[in-house]
A = this chain, B = another copy of it.
């Protein structure tokens, strides 16, 4: 078990879906930073269910209570801790699952790892609900970064077969980033959003679910943030992104497409613009040798379809080792991608803030 992460901005995430509370401690926030709790709440609301007809009607208040770390709304250097109390829990839905693991869930692996002692209610510590504390920490990190001119935004790049236009690799106007962050269904092209919604509702009607891709851009990261090898930006971002439930792929810049390109096409030529060194294309996704090159940092995360579906599935009863049918009840998102968008931003913000602080140690 290691639900902690980060070198300077060290977060420790805790909670289970149906425990009294979930939350996070954030150690290492620089002192003297104002935390706008209203803006944080607005950010968290983007992750909450029920904003759109396509998501689960479950209500998650997600109102964090800051236990410490602030004095008069300003970071005081001490660790910040925040909790969200769990209120709307219906434990009975989950009783059968201890012995009959749900396909594509962590029920079976947790059963083996924890010897049957894991909390099965609502997925326990494996629940997507645990991304709320990540968003509290990341939402605060986003505020610090924005104050320094680093802007992070994500959108739904695709759901099922429906695709939004990609972010422009050389950067988007800030209004575009702000627009997509305000949108209840964050896409760049409205038409794409409609096609995605249709795909989600069709899947729901079929008792099924769909996956998708979230694309994220970070603009304004200065040159020289990151490190070679294991503390490279790609390594650290990927580690944070794969910690989000349902992420099965991560790529930077051209990503997997780069594997089909030639060097003459993929290599981003350097150029001087307004006295600054920039690249004329951005196949690298803003990262060379693990270190930011001053261009927008651009990456995508692939989410598998929600594992909880209404259709009957095949599983085994662990105690008897017999094949059985499984019917999952309860309310579930037929697609978690829209709600995952701010989680991706949060993960990116935590890693980038950490790396920017780490850069301060390059000079003595």
A1–B316 CB distance below 8 A: no
A357 within 8 A of partner (CB): yes
Q: A114-B32, A230-B240 are in contact. Are A209 and B262 (CB under 8 A)?
A: yes
A110–B247 CB distance below 8 A: no
A112, B32: Cα distance in complex, Å: 12
- CB-defined interface of A324-364 with B at 8 Å, one 1/0 digit per residue? 00000000000000000000000000000100111111111
Q: Within A270-310, which residues are at the interface with B (CB < 8 Å)?
A: 270-272, 275, 277, 279-280, 283-285, 288-293, 302-309
Which of the candidate stretches A50-58, A64-72, A171-179, A180-188 sits at the interface with the other chain? A64-72
With a cutoff of 8 Å between Cβ atoms, the chain B residues found around residue A19 in the complex are: 67-69, 78
| Least CB distance, A13 to chain B, in whole angstroms | 6
A158–B259 CB distance below 8 A: yes
Q: A109-B289, A288-B108, A316-B272 are in contact. Are A69 and B14 (CB under 8 A)?
A: yes
A302–B255 CB distance below 8 A: yes
A248 within 8 A of partner (CB): yes
Interface size on A, residues (CB 8 A): 159
B68–A15 CB distance below 8 A: yes
- CB-defined interface of A1-41 with B at 8 Å, one 1/0 digit per residue? 11111011010111110011111010111111100000000
A125 within 8 A of partner (CB): yes
A318–B277 CB distance below 8 A: yes
Chain A contact surface mostly: mixed
Q: A2-B229, A12-B12, A67-B15 are in contact. Are A256 and B251 (CB under 8 A)?
A: yes
With a cutoff of 8 Å between Cβ atoms, the chain B residues found around residue A242 in the complex are: 232, 234-235, 238, 290
A111, B171: Cα distance in complex, Å: 23
A311, B266: Cα distance in complex, Å: 13
In the complex, the chain B residue whose C-beta lies closest to that of A66 is B20
A290–B114 CB distance below 8 A: no
A230, B359: Cα distance in complex, Å: 22
Which of A69, A115, A289 has the largest number of chain B CB atoms within 10 A?
A289
A117 within 8 A of partner (CB): yes
Indicate which residue in B108, B125, B303 contacts A77 across the interface (CB closer than 8 Å): B125
B289–A110 CB distance below 8 A: yes
A205 within 8 A of partner (CB): no
A313, B2: Cα distance in complex, Å: 45
A63 within 8 A of partner (CB): no
With a cutoff of 8 Å between Cβ atoms, the chain B residues found around residue A254 in the complex are: 248, 304
Q: A106-B288, A259-B302 are in contact. Are A20 and B252 (CB under 8 A)?
A: no
In the complex, the chain B residue whose C-beta lies closest to that of A32 is B117
With a cutoff of 8 Å between Cβ atoms, the chain B residues found around residue A20 in the complex are: 65-68
Query: Can you give 16 A-B contacts (C-beta < 8 A)?
Result: A4-B230, A16-B69, A21-B68, A77-B125, A130-B229, A160-B260, A209-B263, A243-B290, A245-B289, A249-B252, A263-B308, A267-B313, A269-B314, A270-B314, A360-B360, A361-B361
